[in-house]
Amino acid sequence: MNLRALFRPSLEERPGDVGLEFGGLQCSFGELDLRSNRLANLLAAEGFESGDRIAVYLENSIEFIDIYLASIKLGLLFTPINILYRDREIDHILRDAEPRRLIAGRNSPALENRDALVAEDLAEAARRFSSDFTPCSLKRASPACLVYTSGTTGRPKGAILTHGNFAANARTLIDAWRLAPDDRLLLALPLFHVHGLGNGLHTWLALGYRTRLLDRFRKETIIQEFLDFRPTVFFGVPTMYERLLDANPDTARSIGQAARLFVSGSAPLPARTFERFRELYGHAILERYGMTETLMNISNPYDGERRPGTVGLPLPGVAVRLQDGEILVKGDNIFAGYWRQPEATAAAFTEDGWFRTGDVATRSEDGYYTLEGRRTELIITGGFNVYPREIEEFLREQPGVADAAVIGVPHAIKGEAPAAFIVLRPGATADAAELQTRCRAHMASFKVPIVFTCVDRLPRNALGKIQRHLLAQRSD
């Protein structure tokens, strides 16, 4: 199955139905289909051919969806870029993916000093193109997306996700979570990550359930969006659920009565948040576990016990096993490899084809998995991933800085946040505000350390590796 076939029940079979609400506008499936046909014709005229990468730096919007659907029709590798990324991070992806073009929103920082197509201009220009388009033929193994993950080596790697990967994931979730055409989805996740794209957008287009897409999650207005739209289904990261705990009890109960299912993932959901949410909203949040490279692997059951602190049981179609505590997975959901990185790809799989997730877990006697940690030093803040090394490398390039280490420290709302330890050059003085400003200018805001601590030297072991656990003790 490919994504065009997956989306056929809505785009082609229910053209007259309103499928999407966005910013006060409504859009039918037929309109979405025709808009993306026009855009596909335009992009073909721009020289795009099957197999080309199309880099997209764009907020959630109808234009985002148009480009995505056009990309599928043309057989391109859709390459989304996190819109919180700044020059350094964007340039790395552009250099690595070598897209035919970058598309960015008007007023976006990605347009500065870059030759990019402006999404709003494209939407306007596409109106002059034909709404007939003959899509290219696609196979299960055809690549659909190139999604950059924060790399252990400090630089993000592109994960190649195929049509078959995404289709398998969407169908598995639809069955496991009983998603149905008469559900209503409030989609506040960014579409540039697989959580919003693979779980949100794909199940929407597979089922044709009414979806309200938000340009982004805003803590100030999210409760009102719930009251106004009355979704039955919501997918979120734990930080979103923390924010939802601010609702007053009557409001929360009313939202809970309209809803059927709340799902959490991308970062650990604290058991306390699970309990408080249940008290307020009357729902046991269903926690699941996934990864860019694998899409969804393990999930608490829809029927049956949703056990707080665990990520549940292997999803149907996903084989899971533990090797020395590490979770290994196999299934149609597992990606095709890292873009132009055969060695990293080979290292990510065992000889008999199991993908090494790098996550460490235990399994209860009745089969529930609990994530205990990670093999690498990944920090997850608000559901966004940060590798310390990337920030450390940047800090070491700054004048006056001799050495730097970054660790994750507990944060009440974001789960974790990065904190930096700095060793200054002889004679240099520390200016935490200045370092923070420099970080802000060059990296996504969620990567900027929340505190900078000066130390005489970093604790290192005999091999020269930073002993982060010792730093963690110092930050208590």
Residues 417-456 as x/- pattern, contact with ligand MLC by CB under 6 A: ----------------------------xx----------
In terms of Cα–Cα distance, which of 286, 290, 1, 17 is closest to 165? 1
Among 65, 146, 311, 409, binds ligand AMP (CB under 6 A): 311
Is residue 420 a contact partner of residue 448, using CB atoms and an 8 Å limit? no
In terms of Cα–Cα distance, which of 80, 62, 50 is closest to 192? 80
Q: Where in 186-245 is the site for ligand AMP (CB under 6 A)?
A: none
Among 57, 209, 217, 281, binds ligand MLC (CB under 6 A): 217
- How many Cα atoms within 13 Å fall on the side-chain side of residue 226? 28
Nearer to ligand AMP, 29 or 289 (CB): 289
In terms of Cα–Cα distance, which of 208, 218, 212, 204 is closest to 166? 204
Is residue 172 a contact partner of residue 221, using CB atoms and an 8 Å limit? no
Within 10 Å of residue 24's Cβ, how many Cβ atoms?
Answer: 5
Number of chain residues interacting with ligand AMP (CB under 6 A): 17
Q: Is 333 in the site for ligand MLC (CB under 6 A)?
A: no
Quote the least distance from Cβ 255 to ligand MLC, whole Å: 17
Token pair of 196, please? Answer: 């919003």
Q: How far, in Å, CA of 142 to CA of 427, rounded?
A: 57
Number of chain residues interacting with ligand MLC (CB under 6 A): 26
Q: Is 292 in the site for ligand AMP (CB under 6 A)?
A: yes
Among 55, 77, 123, 189, binds ligand MLC (CB under 6 A): 189
User: SS3 of 3, please?
Assistant: helix
Q: Where in 380-409 is the site for ligand MLC (CB under 6 A)?
A: 382-384
Q: Taking contact as CB under 6 A, which single stretch among the options 102-110, 274-282, 289-297, 389-397 is the one that binds ligand AMP?
A: 289-297
Q: Taking contact as CB under 6 A, which single stretch among the options 55-63, 169-177, 262-270, 277-285 is the one that binds ligand AMP?
A: 262-270
Q: Is 385 in the site for ligand AMP (CB under 6 A)?
A: yes
Among 10, 36, 357, 381, binds ligand AMP (CB under 6 A): 357
Q: Taking contact as CB under 6 A, which single stretch among the options 132-140, 190-198, 225-233, 354-362 is the one that binds ligand MLC?
A: 190-198
- How many Cα atoms within 13 Å fall on the side-chain side of residue 166? 35
Q: Taking contact as CB under 6 A, which single stretch among the options 117-125, 134-142, 264-272, 342-350 is the one that binds ligand AMP?
A: 264-272
369-374 sheet: strands from edge to edge? 318-323, 326-331, 355-363, 369-374
Q: Is 411 in the site for ligand AMP (CB under 6 A)?
A: no
474 binds, among ligand AMP, ligand MLC, none (CB under 5 to 8 A by kind): none
Q: Where in 257-286 is the site for ligand MLC (CB under 6 A)?
A: 265-266
Q: How far, in Å, CA of 389 to CA of 154, rounded?
A: 5
Q: How far, in Å, CA of 435 to CA of 155, rounded?
A: 21
Quote the least distance from Cβ 313 to ligand AMP, whole Å: 13
Quote the least distance from Cβ 359 to ligand MLC, whole Å: 10
- 56 sits in which H/E element: strand 53-57
User: SS3 of 336, please?
Assistant: coil
Q: How far, in Å, CA of 443 to CA of 421, rounded?
A: 18
2 binds, among ligand MLC, ligand AMP, none (CB under 5 to 8 A by kind): none
Q: What share of the chain is helix, strand, coil (3-state, %, to 5)?
A: 35, 25, 40
Within 10 Å of residue 141's Cβ, how many Cβ atoms?
Answer: 11
Residue reference for tokens 């966005």: 22
Q: Is 374 in the site for ligand AMP (CB under 6 A)?
A: yes
Token pair of 237, please? Answer: 């990261």
Q: How far, in Å, CA of 189 to CA of 414, rounded?
A: 15
- Give, in order, the Cα–Cα distances in Å from 81 to each of 155, 419, 452: 14, 24, 28
Q: How far, in Å, CA of 258 to CA of 278, rounded?
A: 14
Nearer to ligand MLC, 207 or 296 (CB): 296
In terms of Cα–Cα distance, which of 216, 214, 217, 195 is closest to 288? 195
Q: How far, in Å, CA of 200 to CA of 318, rounded?
A: 20
206 binds, among ligand MLC, ligand AMP, none (CB under 5 to 8 A by kind): none
Quote the least distance from Cβ 221 to ligand MLC, whole Å: 11
Quote the least distance from Cβ 298 to ligand AMP, whole Å: 8
Quote the least distance from Cβ 86 to ligand AMP, whole Å: 18
203 binds, among ligand AMP, ligand MLC, none (CB under 5 to 8 A by kind): none
468 binds, among ligand MLC, ligand AMP, none (CB under 5 to 8 A by kind): none
Where do contacts with ligand AMP occur on this chain (CB under 6 A)? 149, 265-268, 287, 289-292, 311, 357, 359, 371, 374, 380, 385
Where do contacts with ligand MLC occur on this chain (CB under 6 A)? 83-84, 189-190, 193-196, 216-217, 219, 237, 239-240, 243, 265-266, 290-292, 382-384, 413, 445-446
